[in-house]
Amino acid sequence: MDGLTLRAPAKLNLTLEVDPPRPDGYHPIRSLMAELPDLFDDVELTTSARRRVICPGVPERENLAWRALDALDAHVGRVLGVVVTITKRIPSEAGLGGGSSDAAATLVGANRLFGLGLTDEVLIELAAVVGSDVSFFIRGGTQRASGRGDVLEPATVPTAWAVLARIPIGLPTPMVYRAFDRMARPVRVPTRTVRSFDELVANARNDLWPAALALAPALGRVARELAAAGACRVLLCGSGSTVAGLVRTAADAERIASQVTARVPNAWVDTSALGDPTLAVPTRTTARVV
């Protein structure tokens, strides 16, 4: 095999509870995370005499995919010659995990390309070194994540759709967490089992919303437009700056997306299934040999 291409999907934090930072600076989290398999980057890996990571707009050594290869090389004790070419569809600094998903796809793809035989457990350990959300994307699907996001437990959610809307405001994750640390701790509501769409809506929340809104008040307009168009629940994606509206059906998602696009002309708007993978395109777990 000389190369392969993987799909690296986005993710949505259906719940995100954030605790105060640990001595190492990381904030422990608890999150119900779901793939958004209709929104994905393509990550192509081909063997080469030397390493390259090609992604427009991102210096290769600053790309999480580069850090993923560093971690993999250190683990196997040799330099893996590979060119990684990333075709972006997931917006950057959007809270959708695009960079983390690209890194996870790089780990999974290099493991297959070079026949390393590493288990998911080993890849998750390497992913945790690369970035907080990378471990989730090794397994994908729907997971309850805790710790730094590297303690994973499989979960399920009912069939639902998300309408994603983002205005051109970048919110770097460290900035949002610093704002969060300056605020009063959120009042917690016990998380219940999610068995129905109504329970999904009732449980959905994100502790980082007040911090993101304080840094970018324009997010409030996006949230209001999603709600006015009929979204059953509106929440921040990760640390922002995408806002998601949860709806029951694909028809609802398309209708709301059209309304938000008309009402917020500078917004990037997209839709994706979550919960039932049969409703969406194949995910990154399917490799195409090139």
Catalytic residues: 11, 133
Phi-psi region of 220 (alpha: psi -120 to 50; beta: other; left: phi over 0): alpha
In 3D space, the residue among 201, 145, 194, 169 whose CA is nearest the CA of residue 91 turns out to be 169
* Closest C-alpha among 32, 37, 283, 35 to residue 153: 32
d(Cα 239, Cα 45) in Å, to the nearest integer?
A: 29
Residue 195 — φ and ψ, nearest 5°?
Answer: -115, -20
237 CA to centre of own chain: 8
